[in-house]
Amino acid sequence: MKYINAEKMLPKELLRSIQEYTQGSYLYIPVREEDKKQWGECTQSKKLVQERNEAIVSANHSGVPVKTLAQLYHLTEHSIRRIIRGHR
């Protein structure tokens, strides 16, 4: 996270109001709820995980054992079974 000097960003009146509560400390300002993004929304991570999971399910339906899939995808057998159960 990159810190920005409040003097360079905020209007003087607002800065003075904030200084009534805190001075010389770091202040985290969270993103508004309506502006929050879901996991994977900004990157292709979510899509890649979905594609991987579909490939796992498809391979299992074709007869590839859970143990082999776990080794192939570097996941635990428990994770492979959970993925397969979730796609039924």
pLDDT tens readout for residues 31-75: 898 888 877 777 888 889 999 999 999 999 999 999 999 999 999
Residues 8, 32, 47, 72, Cα dihedral to 10°: 90
What pTM did the predictor assign? 0.57
Q: How many domains does the chain have?
A: 2
pLDDT of residue 34: 86
Instruction: Tell me whether residue 56 is in a domain.
Output: yes
Domain hosting residue 23, numbered range: 6-31
pLDDT value of residue 33:
87
User: For residue 4, what are the contacts with CB-CB under 8 A and spacing of at least 6?
Assistant: none
Compute the half-sphere exposure of residue 29: CA atoms within 13 Å on the CB side of its CA. Answer: 7
Examine residue 57 and state whether it is found in any structural domain, yes or no. yes
Q: For the stretch 28-55, what's the b/e string if a residue is b when 16 or more beta carbons lie within 10 angstroms of its beta carbon? A: eeeeeeeeeeeeeeeeeeeeeeeeebee
